Amino acid sequence: MVSPLDTSGNPNRACFLDRDGVLIEDAHYLSSPDQVRLMPGISGSLRRLRQEGYLLIVVTNQSGVARGVFPEDAIPAVHQRIDDLLAAEGAGIDAYYYCPHHVEGTVKRYARSCSCRKPEPGMLLAAATDYRLDLGASFLIGDKLSDLQAAEKAGCAGYLVETGHGREYAERGRAAGIPVVADAVSAVDAFLETAR
């Protein structure tokens, strides 16, 4: 299916997806395409979002690069694998943004604070510029409070899922008034329900 990107000058809407624990199963510092497992049912939700006119944008912290766990050039192969698995089910991602930094990193060129690592909203803001997004009409799905904090700073809605690391954060999320749902499929259902 062709991406719904609007080229006529109107703003676009996006669904921002955290990667590990939301779009794909979490694996500690996942760096090999062989480790990629799509979350159950996610491709159907992505197809539905595209039909509804949403761009699908992955925003992922990859501090394993700064920590020296894997090289930055391992990341595109993982994303290619995600694309291949989704394409086999008629779905796809429009753009990937990742942050390779960490302030306590061991690899010098990545060892710094930055504006892209969530909870900072840099990746969302960059995507908003690149794709002319209406952030107020967009939403994010994450499994950590840092994802939701990035969404809040960017001015878009957010859902915390209980997959990945989500269970660790569910109680604090609820206390903070964040919608907590079982998984990304449920998050998409809930958001589209409110967006009508």
| Residue 131 beta carbon to Zn ion: minimum distance, rounded to whole angstroms | 19
| Residue 105 beta carbon to Zn ion: minimum distance, rounded to whole angstroms | 10
Tokens 């690149």 label which residue?
Answer: 130
The residues, ordered by sequence, that sit 6+ positions from 100 with a Cβ below 8 Å of its Cβ are: 62, 63, 65, 66, 72, 75, 110
* Amino acid at site 142: G
Give the neighbor-by-neighbor strand order of the sheet with 13-17: 95-99, 54-61, 13-17, 139-142, 157-161, 180-181
Judge whether 134 counts as a catalytic residue: no
Catalytic residue from among 6, 18, 26, 143: 18
Residues found near Zn ion in the complex (CB under 5 A): 99, 101, 114, 116-117
d(CA 96, CA 148): 18
Judge whether 147 counts as a catalytic residue: no
Q: Rank residues 54 and 110 by Cβ distance to Zn ion and give the closer one.
A: 110
d(CA 114, CA 96): 18
| Residue 123 beta carbon to Zn ion: minimum distance, rounded to whole angstroms | 8
Q: Rank residues 64 and 173 by Cβ distance to Zn ion and give the closer one.
A: 64
Q: Rank residues 91 and 148 by Cβ distance to Zn ion and give the closer one.
A: 148
Residues noted as catalytic: 18, 20
